[in-house]
């Protein structure tokens, strides 16, 4: 068998094995996963522990690699392994977003039954500002669109180390300005647009929400922040406790930051570390989801507390039995789907509550 064919078949074969394992009776899955893992007063969900166990058998226990090419290839393989079906009832269209640095690819998801005009989520994918693309988060965007009943515009912003900070931030702001300007064309209204993202994408969404609230122009109606990175300057307790063997590692975080923000002095910039902003008042209502077994848990929860203290309506939701990246693992196990369903419900509710005040 040629190397090319072998590499194409590998994720399919591994994916069949993964989904077969998750279909086994619970006692068998527990036997494979091992004894329950308990840390910091929390017990890891069986689905998450089984996934980590199976991941370890493939030799992949972290997101970083010897090169960005290898890390990106590994993420692509992981996506192919986990996602074996497509969310039905969602129309998908490719788009381009003009920016001062060139055009960005984007993808618009629309539930087929959605009436005009409708609400829209401007979405930024995770991946440490180094990994990820439109395809890596395609399943999540389809699911959010269908389950929340909103349009989702996913943006393929520039990645590091080819484009270091503030390139991703600049692309996020340019994307926001574009969707506001083209709201009618996108089937929405400027006052009905939310921003959201996971991990590094949550960082970009939070930064857009903060900067637009300070600029005096249109600001998002709602912010959906899924285990966001909001402070590049500090190592909190959760990074020490959950920094090894739980998908996102302490080493990964250092690797990502060194690629995206090689100048250490830039890491306190509010465009990156929005948690360091002195005044968070006047920001859009927020839903901040964190995972109990996540190195980023504590900074996300501190950000939610800061928002609440500044008078911003905020729901802080810790999924205490899950790991970083669970939103991209939806098709792997029931527990991941349950969490994604709750997040989609929060998006639907947040935008619905914002709508009357916007009229």
Same domain, 61 and 96: no
Catalytic residue among 199, 207, 213, 238: 199
Alpha-carbon span 203 to 28, nearest angstrom: 39
Active site residue 137: no
pTM (2 decimals)?
0.95
Q: Which of 62, 82, 102 represents a domain boundary (last residue)?
A: 82
List pLDDT tens digits, range 285-326.
999 999 999 999 999 999 999 999 999 999 999 999 999 999
132 alpha carbon, distance to own chain's centre:
10
Tokens of 55: 């991941």
Catalytic residue among 138, 294, 298, 321: 294
Active site residue 175: no
If you count DSSP H runs as helices and E runs as strands, how many of each does the chain have, helices first? 11, 10
Burial of 100 (0-12, 13-18, 19+ CB in 10 A): exposed
Same domain, 204 and 155: yes
- The pLDDT, as a whole number, for residue 92 is 97
List pLDDT tens digits, range 67-92.
999 999 999 999 998 998 999 999 99
Catalytic residue among 125, 137, 259, 324: 324
- The pLDDT, as a whole number, for residue 9 is 55
| Greatest alpha-carbon span in the chain | 62
- The pLDDT, as a whole number, for residue 357 is 43
Alpha-carbon span 355 to 25, nearest angstrom: 45
Mean pLDDT, the chain cut into blocks of 10 residues (359 residues total):
54 80 94 96 97 84 91 92 92 96 97 90 98 98 97 98 98 98 96 98 98 94 98 96 95 97 97 97 98 98 98 98 97 96 98 66
CATH of the domain at 231: 3.40.50.1820
Range of the domain at 277: 90-358
Same domain, 161 and 49: no
Active site residue 324: yes
- The pLDDT, as a whole number, for residue 25 is 95
Q: Which of 57, 82, 107 represents a domain boundary (last residue)?
A: 82
Report the domain count for the chain: 2
Q: Taking Cα atoms as reference points, which of 136, 12, 134, 3 lies closest to residue 63?
A: 136
């Amino acid at each position: 068998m040629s190397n090319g064919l072998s590499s194409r078949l590998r994720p399919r074969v591994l994916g069949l094995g993964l989904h077969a394992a998750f279909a086994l009776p619970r006692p068998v899955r527990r036997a494979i996963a091992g004894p329950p893992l308990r840390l910091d007063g929390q017990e890891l969900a069986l689905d998450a522990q089984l996934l980590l166990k199976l991941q370890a058998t493939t030799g992949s226990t972290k997101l970083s690699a010897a090169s960005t090419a290898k890390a990106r290839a590994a993420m692509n393989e992981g996506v192919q392994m986990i996602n074996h079906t497509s969310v039905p009832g969602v129309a998908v269209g490719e788009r381009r977003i003009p920016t001062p640095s060139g055009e960005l690819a984007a993808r618009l998801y629309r539930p087929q039954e959605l009436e005009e005009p409708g609400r829209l989520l401007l979405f930024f994918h995770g991946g440490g500002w180094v990994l990820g693309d439109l395809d890596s988060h395609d399943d999540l965007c389809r699911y959010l669109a269908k389950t929340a009943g909103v349009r989702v515009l996913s943006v393929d912003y520039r990645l590091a180390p080819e484009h270091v900070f503030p390139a991703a931030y600049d692309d996020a702001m340019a994307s926001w300005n574009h969707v506001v300007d083209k709201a009618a064309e996108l089937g929405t209204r400027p006052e009905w647009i939310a921003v959201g993202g996971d991990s590094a994408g949550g960082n970009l969404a939070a930064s857009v929400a903060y900067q637009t609230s300070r600029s005096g122009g249109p600001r998002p109606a709602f912010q959906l922040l899924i285990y966001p990175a909001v402070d590049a300057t500090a190592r909190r307790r959760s990074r020490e406790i959950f920094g090894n063997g739980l998908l996102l590692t302490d080493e990964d975080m250092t690797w990502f930051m060194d690629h995206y923000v090689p100048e250490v002095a830039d890491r306190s910039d509010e465009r990156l570390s929005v948690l360091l902003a002195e005044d968070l008042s006047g920001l859009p209502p927020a839903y901040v989801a964190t995972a109990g077994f996540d190195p980023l848990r504590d900074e996300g929860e501190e950000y939610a507390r800061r928002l609440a203290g500044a008078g911003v309506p905020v729901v802080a939701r810790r999924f205490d039995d899950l790991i970083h990246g669970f939103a991209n693992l939806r098709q792997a196990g029931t527990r991941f789907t349950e969490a994604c369903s709750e997040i989609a419900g929060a998006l639907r509710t947040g935008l619905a509550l914002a709508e009357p005040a916007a009229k």
